[in-house]
Amino acid sequence: MKNIGGAVVLFFIALFAYTKLAGPIPFTVNSVTTTKTDTFSVSGEGKVSAAPDIAVVSVGVQAQGATVKIAQDALNKNINAVSAAVKAAGVGAKDIQTSGYNINPMYDYSISSQRITGYQASSNLTIKVRAIEKANAVIDAATQAGANQVGGISFDVDDKTKAQNEARQKAVADAKSKAENAAKIAGFTLGKIINYSEDFGGAVRPIPMMAKADAGLGASPETAVEPGSNEITVTVTLSYQIQ
């Protein structure tokens, strides 16, 4: 017992001397608090049909010549005529964009060695028609002026904000209804919404409908395309705390 008591006394004497020389011994306590939060996520969808108010038309010109210059000159003449005709049909210069310009050699493969027989030049124009009712007239004006390629036509809504907000409201209402029904059936209580995400689906494009030829002799039918309607879809995901 005397030995144990002496050891304890020596320990405290050594500890006292150390703190005098080296300072107080650092002593910290780390407190970690963990919380568990149960969450529940549900998705909802909202769809809104919107009438398109703009059309985007793609037309092109293809020309050939014995030399690069001949092919290029023919192409430039025709594409400039198409651009002028489209402007005359009511399209602004800012809404006409060149989307391709190519010149390539043409080869004769009927003999053992390749032989260049001429050159082919092509160019495309992407045309935005803001007055959608003029889309048919613009296509006709372009083809009558020399456009020998029509790449297609698509329709869109210039300002989608109103339709997107309406679709979003429907999607949120759908998600909330699903969450409330699930909570009622499963027997839990919904807390606050802790996360929100959304995704916009692509709009559905209508297929252009071409007019049939008139029965009259020599009649030239006008192009007829129907814009139909675009469907704007929003999917939202809501995450709730479960109480």
The domain limits of the chain are 39-50+161-206+227-242, 54-156
**3-state percent helix, strand, coil for the chain, nearest multiple of 5:** 35, 35, 30
- Rounded Cα gap, residues 72 and 75, in angstroms: 5
Return the higher-pLDDT residue of 6 and 29: 6
- 205 — pLDDT class (breaks 50, 70, 90): very low
Query: How is domain 54-156 classified at the architecture level of CATH?
Result: 2-Layer Sandwich (3.30)
**Looking at the predicted structure, is the pLDDT value of residue 29 above 50?**
no
Region of poorest pLDDT, from 38-47, 129-138, 204-213? 204-213
Q: Coil, helix or strand for 176?
A: helix
pLDDT over 90, % of the chain: 58
- Architecture of the domain delimited by 39-50+161-206+227-242: 2-Layer Sandwich (3.30)
Rounded to an integer, what distance in angstroms lies between the CA atom of residue 139 and that of residue 82?
10
Q: What is the pTM of this model?
A: 0.61
**In this predicted model, which residue has the larger pLDDT, 175 or 16?**
175
For the ranges 34-38, 153-157, 181-185, the maximum mean pLDDT occurs at 181-185
Q: What is the pLDDT of residues 42-73, one digit of tens each?
A: 999 999 998 898 999 999 999 999 999 999 99
